[in-house]
Structures are given as C-alpha cells and as structure tokens.
Structure 1
Amino acid sequence: MVKKPYVLWLIWQNQETRQRYHVGNLFHEDGKYTFSYELSGRRRTLFEAMENGYQPHLSFRNIEKSYVSNRLFGPFARRLPDKRRPDFKEILKDFALPLDYTEMDLLRATGGRLATDPYEFVAPISVLGDHFHFDFFVAGWRYYEGDKIENQLQAESHVTFELEPLNDEDNKAVIVLSGKKGYKLGYIPAFYSGFMFDVIRNKDIYEAKIEKINPYAKPQLKVNISIVGRLKKGYSSTSNEDVEPVQYV
C-alpha cells in the first residue's frame, strides 16, 4: 500500500471575535513539505477568514501557490520546542511522543502555538471507507461549567453533544456535555463542528470520550475529546486515497 501523506490544518483565530478558521494545509510526503491555502472548503476557510480581517502569512503571500520544500518551512519549524532544551525529553514524554518522533508529530502534538500570533496546527478529520475519527480540545472552556466539575472528569469518560442551530455566531454549533449530568463544557471547534453537526443530524453512529485532561494547561488546551464513528451512507470522495483528510467545515 502506498504511504499516505501526513496532513495538518493551519488554523487562524480572529483575536477580536475569537472565531477560528481553517486557512491552510501542510503536507509531508516522500520527504517533501507542501503548504497551500485552503480554497475549497464549505465554511470557516480562507476567504471567510479574509472577510474577517485575515491577511496571508508574510512568508506565503500568494494564496494560489503551492509552496514546496525539502525541509519544514522556517516559519513553522520555529514553532517547535528547541531540542537543545534541557527538558526536551520531558516535553516528548508529556505529549507521549517517542524518541524517533517526526517534526510533523511534534507540530501536531504542540499545535505549534506561539504567544505572539493567532496560528495553530490541528489534525484533520480522517475517513477510512465509512469510518471516521478525529480529536479536539474543547472550545470556550473558560466560559461554561467545566472548571466547576473538572475534578469529576476522568479520561475514558463519555461525553455527549447537543446541536445549537440557533446560535447567532455559528448555525452549526455543537455543544459538548459531560456524562450523565450533562454539564456544559464548551463547544466542538467550528472547523470541525460542521462535519459533526451533519453526523448527529443524520443519526450516524459514533462514540465520544475524554481522551486526556490537562489540569494545568491553558483553558483552550484543558480537555481533549476523541471521536470515532461510522457514516451510514459512507463518505463520497473522488480521491483514491484510503485515508482522506476531510475539509468539511
């Protein structure tokens, strides 16, 4: 089987509205890195971001160009923890990464987040046949009931979702609720919620649980949720790849 490319989505957040957009895609395949802007998504993609104040990255000014490099692009490589740090092995341990990690592994684990700008990298939704999986950090954690019950949450505990079609900011918003008592923890990030909104509306099969809790992390990195499921009607794609990174937001 042909080895599939490693894909990450580049997310930009409007600092005023706090809304996030999927503006680009970073691929690693056969030793080459490729970056291109996301021009074909359904919502929360580049053109909507530009309507809301986004300007292309200074290192990637041409939105129609595919940029290719034999090494991870400098602006992205600088987002990784310096391996010369004395605590670097502890960082790998914290993110459950092996010593033979790749730069894409580390970029995915850390998100490549910096305090100086509103970018981050996230993994795409992956579909294999009619099965899908993805994971996300709960959005809006600081504004709801998560902190009140944080000590009651446990890894592997199930969570539930609730559609919020009348949400003024996102008509495909999906609320994340804790276990049986249904405390509101926050939302599925908007760049994933469109896909999950349709999964729930179509009554597709899925399971969602808490993957990891980071009690000392920033609110946006507190609780990670994983979802695995099956689409009743399958996933329609023109790609021949077995694993498809879905742009469905």
Structure 2
Amino acid sequence: MTAGRTLFVTWYDSNHRSIIPVGRLVHHGGAEGDLFEFRYIQGALEAMERGFQPFIAFPDLCKVYRSSSLFPFFANRVMPTTRPDYLAYLEVLGLDPTEADSVDILARSGGRRETDRIEVVPAPVKDETGGYTTRFLLRGVRYIPGAEDRIARLRFGERLFWMLDAQNESNPSAVALRSADKCLLGYIPDYLVTDIAKLLEHHVSMNVFAEKVNLPPAPLHHRVLCRLEARWPDGFLPFQGEQFQPVGPLTAPPTHADHALQ
C-alpha cells in the first residue's frame, strides 16, 4: 500500500463567515487495490458548537470508515465522465483528462455544492524539488469592485502579490491577493492561512502566480486557478495543530485486509 493522498473536509460557518476543518479523507493505492479512509478530526467538535452535525453517511464521530472505492458522499461531488461538458470542466480546473482521477478532481474543484456548506481541500505535499507548492481557486471575487474586469486581463503565469488583511472582520488572518498594478483581486482560501503564517515565521518567501484564468461563463469561484510556491522549511508539517488531530483513539495504519465497504 503506497503513501496516501490526504484531503480535508471543511464546513462553512455562515454566521461567523469562517471555514472549519471537520474531517479527513485519505486515499491509499497500490498493487492490492484502493483503500479510502474517512474519520472526523477535532475541528468537528468546534464546528458542532456552531451548528454542524455529523454527516448522515458518517454518523459516528469516533469511527474510522474504510472502503475499497470512493465513498458515495464524495463520489457524488465529482462530475461524471459521461457529462458532455466533462472535458471542458477539467480544462477549467487545469487538469489533464488522461491523468486525473476522482481524487484529483475532488481536490482541485473542492466538491462544492450550492445545497450545502462542505468543501474538500488537499493537504499540500512536497513538490519534485522538495518545495511547498499548492494550487487553489481564488476566493471572494464577487465582493471586490473591479476584480472581475482586472481578472479578465490577467496573463498566464502573471505574478500575484499577497498581503495580510488584519482588519478583515470575518478573518483577521486573511491573506488578500492583488495584481502588480495594485488592483485587489480576491483572497487565498482560509484553510491555507495557518500554513502561511507558519511559513512566514520561518522567514520563507512566497510567490503566487495565476496559473489559469477562466472567463465567463465559468462561475466566479472558478475564475482564477492560482499556484503558491515557497521553500519547505525543516521540520514544517502542513495542516497540523489541534483542529486537524483525529477524534477518538488513534488506530494502526490500515491494511488491505481492513477493507470494509460502508
């Protein structure tokens, strides 16, 4: 069984306009087949104080759910390959249709729906050079006057400049992005701001680039795919902290024998 790809499930608290991580999905692949594992993390306990309820598909907070295929709760958030706009959708996400699988699509798209407040986000991993690289869709475009017009003129690979927005009422740790001509475009997703703060503590320089610009009719939350690059400091681990720790007793690493369709 190979090392897993890890995605975190977040819940949006609309009252406080904040994003809270509530669960962790890990995909292990290998010669023996696939194994998917879902469990809740400590952030779920905080979210429950604000109205979050465990998912119907995963009702037990302390249970480790395992399956040999992607759980329907997540698979239903991935566009079917039979859709006529499937290839266009992958192009918007900047994914190669010959290589991308359901986990890649879920990680890049976020699996967002209009009917709930759930989003799936990938845990950053070291790139081929040993650096920190992650991709994300620009947030908050709809709330910034003039952002859409400036985004329409962005070029592939254009550098974007980040700045801390400590006076942001929704999140004092928010990180905004602007163009070189000082036009505010949007925000880095909240789920990355803790990692960014840790990188800055290590005095690591960060560079953000517009990797793909999707003009209308692409929805606003798919308008700009960004790439963040930084040096990976010694001892740094992404998505750490109490919120990301599992709920309940720790279990041994899963084996193929543990497969049990949920």
Return the TM-score normalized by structure 1. Answer: 0.82
1:95-154 deviation per Cα after TM superposition (whole angstroms, max 9, x unaligned): 433335322123223322222222122222224697311121122111114113122211
Q: How does 1:155-166 map to 2 (within 5 A)?
A: 155-166=156-167
State how many pairs are aligned. Answer: 234
Check whether the contact 1:176–1:186 (CA below 8 A) recurs between aligned residues.
Answer: yes
Check whether the contact 2:40–2:61 (CA below 8 A) recurs between aligned residues.
Answer: yes
Q: How does 1:45-194 map to 2 (within 5 A)?
A: 45-95=43-93, 96-99=95-98, 101-127=100-126, 131-144=131-144, 145-179=146-180, 181-194=181-194
> Following the alignment from structure 1 to structure 2, what is the Cα–Cα distance between the partners of residues 153 and 198?
29
Query: What SS does structure 2 have at the residue aligned with 1:152?
Result: coil
Structure 1 spans left out of the alignment, 5+ residues: 40-44, 238-244
Pair 1:246-2:239 in alignment: yes
Q: Give me the identity figure in percent.
A: 26
Check whether the contact 1:173–1:194 (CA below 8 A) recurs between aligned residues.
Answer: no
Displacement after TM superposition at 1:5 (Å): 0.7
Displacement after TM superposition at 1:90 (Å): 4.3
> Following the alignment from structure 2 to structure 1, what is the Cα–Cα distance between the partners of residues 86 and 167?
45
Check whether the contact 2:92–2:222 (CA below 8 A) recurs between aligned residues.
Answer: no
1:67-104 deviation per Cα after TM superposition (whole angstroms, max 9, x unaligned): 10111111111222223334444444554333353221
Q: Which moved more, 1:124-133 or 1:162-171?
A: 124-133
Find the counterpart in structure 2 of residue 214 from structure 1.
214
Structure 2 spans left out of the alignment, 5+ residues: 244-262
CA RMSD of aligned residues (A): 2.5
Find the counterpart in structure 2 of residue 34 from structure 1.
37
Displacement after TM superposition at 1:234 (Å): 1.7
Compared with structure 1, are the counterparts of its residues 101 and 126 closer, same or farther at alpha carbon in structure 2 (3 Å cutoff)? closer
Check whether the contact 2:9–2:24 (CA below 8 A) recurs between aligned residues.
Answer: yes
Compared with structure 1, are the counterparts of its residues 222 and 247 closer, same or farther at alpha carbon in structure 2 (3 Å cutoff)? farther
> Following the alignment from structure 1 to structure 2, what is the Cα–Cα distance between the partners of residues 93 and 150?
18
Find the counterpart in structure 2 of residue 240 from structure 1.
none
